[in-house]
Amino acid sequence: MSEADGGVVSADELKIEIERRIDESAVILFMKGTPEQPYCGFSARTVQALDGIGASYSAVNVLADPRIRDVVSAHSNWPTIPQLFVDGTLVGGCDIVTEMAETGELAVLITSIAR
């Protein structure tokens, strides 16, 4: 979510960009902060779950632009952050991702996609 031309990105452009990233990314995490520096415990636990299974993923800091959170939540119909998408589909938030990592389901899901 960048302002490539130096101008302000419109809400419509931001929505299109987020939807494109979700559709084109094998695994993408919308979180508070970055994987290297999560800004909340839920985001940190989700990163730990993904890193714990050796997942390759991209991450988007929803705090970089307050509109990102609104667009992602509207897209997924899920109110909380973090949100993990795999192959364009919402997997869930922290509790679901953590539980799936513990049962092995997350590793199976992520390794089953080929991109």
Give Dmax (Cα) for the chain. 45
Taking only the tens place, the pLDDT of each residue in 50-83 is 999 999 999 999 999 989 999 999 999 999 999 9
Q: pLDDT tens, 76-89?
A: 999 999 999 999 99
For the chain, list the domains and their CATH numbers. 11-112 (3.40.30.10)
Distance, CA of 35 to CA of 17 (rounded, Å): 21
- Report the SS3 class of residue 90: strand
Indicate whether this model's pTM tops 0.95. no
